[in-house]
Amino acid sequence: MAAPVKVLVVDDSLTMRALLSGALERIPGVAVVGSAGGADEARTMREQLHPDVITLDVEMPGMSGLEYLAEVMASRPMPIIMFSTRTEAGAEASIEALRLGAIDCFPKPKVAVAAEFDKILSKLGKRIKAAKGAAVKPSGGAKPVAAPPLDWNGRIVAIGGEAAATQALFDLFGTFPANCPPTVVVQHLGAGLAGTMIDTMAAEIAPRIVLAEDGMAIEQGTIYLAPPGEHHVVVDGWPNGRLRMLPRDPVAGERPSISILFASIAKAAGAEAVGLLLGADGEDGDAGVRALQAGGSYGIVPVERRADGFVMSRRIATQAVPADQLAGTILKLCGK
């Protein structure tokens, strides 16, 4: 039997610490090893208790959760899941946390009662279990430099990933030239975060980035981010394709679905499609890569070095590529 995932809960509110700890203890395979009221206490407990995962409140007095996250990710990175308020400022903090390397960011319940935590317990448990031993990249590296203009060969790119892919997406798109291949992204972000993600990224990358809408023409030099919530996004036709939104049930618990996007580009573009799976864990992502291969498209997954020392890659992919070579590989596949 596998050892439980050890979790350290960090929140300045005693009530929130008690409620979250109680909720996590109800998840099979998860053990709360301690709770801390701030960054100083968290540092001590981390050394004493050796947790696998930390849950961390963004808004804390003294050193904020974001400041402590940045400290951890710059020195001794480990999987951290953030909790933030459901406000505009909370959305900005959530994107910054994900960019720093947090695994995911959940909204804090509006009312501090156990029933509110029950609403997110299934997804939270899944994230915590997937986070144990996951590859965590230190933050604060060199800023990406945009590649030279692309002599495009007509291929379309689709990218799928969890919230944990945020850091990788900033690095990847920071390297894309302004006339990058048309790129459609399904990322499993929380509600209300897509717009903030676009606003933050638009100020730092060369290509145009927009929220995907039904009927949009798919054009070179543009990145389309699918909004989370009510619809799946698909590519209708290629070349001269358009985006379509489908109001169908979730796939593997996700909407929009990576698999549906990947299957649509494989059908529309075949060998003229490139798909990249970033940090997605489970049925949706794996089924998406299989759909690419079935349609004759090119599927890429990053090679991941996990904390246990093993190098992991999905054998179903056409190619496993080191993370620092993803942009170069995609641009080579999409250039003449």
Note whether 231 and 245 are within 8 A (CB).
Answer: yes
Note whether 86 and 108 are within 8 A (CB).
Answer: yes
> What is the number of other CB atoms lying within 10 angstroms of the CB of residue 20?
27
* pLDDT at residue 69 in the model: 96
| Segments of the chain assigned to CATH 3.40.50.2300 | 5-131
Q: Is 190 helix (H, G, I), strand (E, B) or coil?
A: coil
pLDDT in tens, 9-49: 999 999 999 999 999 999 999 999 999 999 999 999 999 99
- The label of the residue with tokens 């406000």 reads 87
The total number of residues written for the chain in this structure: 336
pTM over 0.85: yes
Better pLDDT: 312 or 104: 104
Q: Which residue, 221, 216, 226, is CA-closest to 181?
A: 221
d(CA 17, CA 117): 12
Region of poorest pLDDT, from 57-61, 135-139, 147-151, 168-172? 135-139
CA-based max dimension of the chain: 59
Note whether 153 and 335 are within 8 A (CB).
Answer: yes
CATH topology assigned to domain 5-131: Rossmann fold (3.40.50)
Note whether 98 and 105 are within 8 A (CB).
Answer: yes
With a cut of 70, say whether residue 157 has pLDDT above it.
yes
Note whether 145 and 46 are within 8 A (CB).
Answer: no
Q: Is 215 helix (H, G, I), strand (E, B) or coil?
A: coil
Confidence category of residue 307, pLDDT binned at 50, 70, 90: very low
* pLDDT at residue 18 in the model: 93
With a cut of 90, say whether residue 306 has pLDDT above it.
no
Q: Which residues contact 334 (CB under 8 A, 6 or more apart)?
A: 150, 152, 153, 155, 157, 181, 274
With a cut of 80, say whether residue 193 has pLDDT above it.
yes
* pLDDT at residue 144 in the model: 86
pLDDT in tens, 172-187: 999 999 999 999 999 9
pLDDT in tens, 39-72: 999 999 999 999 999 999 998 989 999 999 999 9
Better pLDDT: 255 or 89: 255
CATH code that applies to domain 156-333: 3.40.50.180
Note whether 252 and 287 are within 8 A (CB).
Answer: yes
pLDDT in tens, 159-174: 999 888 999 999 999 9
| Segments of the chain assigned to CATH 3.40.50.180 | 156-333
